[in-house]
Structure 1
Amino acid sequence: MARPDLSAVRAAAQRIAPYVHRTPVFTCQTLNQMSGATLYFKCENLQKIGAFKIRGASNAVLQLSDEQARQGVATHSSGNHAAALALAARNRGIPAYVVMPENAPAVKRAAVAGYGAEIISCPATLEARETTLQAVIERTGAYVVHPYNDHAVI
């Protein structure tokens, strides 16, 4: 996959605009004085799902061809990426399969399920997540949206 350039970033922003909140940016005089710089804080905690992850997940899902999307999307995550992908898939009307470790917080599992994803539990190791995800892909044919190793997500 090609490394994104400025035009790709702008295209992604336009693509996801209907699906995300435009969150505020704040500064803090005290921290600015302490640091000797002007610091800006992007309040992505006010974003849908409560995190910036909805931006990348939406971008990845919206870039899929209809043929790719038909099989759904799959990932492994214990939290925010899982919820983001589930919501992005629901917004596009496609299935989502999320591999979550058995020790994932109940509130995160509830959010993912609430957005309509199928949750597949696994032991709490990276190896178990990846092995279980591979089994899900083989069973469903879903397109993998990696939580952190995908230019469309980053």
Structure 2
Amino acid sequence: MFNNSKVFYIVSIIASLIWVVYLSNSLYRSFDTYNWESVTGEIVAVEAVRTSDSREKYILLIDYIYVIGGNEFSGNNKNFSKSKLNLDEMNEKLNASQVGDKIQLYFNPNNPTESVMSIGISKSVIFLLLISTSILLFASAKLKKLL
């Protein structure tokens, strides 16, 4: 059905290009956190939210506050990719993250309102970026043959 469909390859190129741009931005932001400064913050709220997909997966939302130069800021970013957890992982993280706990945070010195709880790169972002790039290259090559 889609063997020689130009429309299929054009849609594949557009969709994979959108993913490549989005994931590249996420990867860039993750790399940038290595240059951020650290500060001690405090957890003010913890909530587990079930995702809408058919499998039982959760996203852990942690709200925190931190003070820089006498100014109080708040945030809720673990990092720049939201990890989905199964029930056991979620319960483990919930037990380890209690309201009032002190935590190590990292903030952007150029914009202290930006902060994360962990720095670094998510392996899932790298994996998805590789897959999206592969699809983009494959669809581009197939479309070029058809033109």
TM-score normalised by L of structure 2: 0.23
Q: Which has the larger radius of gyration?
A: 2
The structure, 1 or 2, with the larger RCO (C-alpha pairs under 8 Å, 6+ apart) is 2
Q: Whose helix proportion is higher, 1 or 2?
A: 1
TM-score normalised by L of structure 1: 0.22
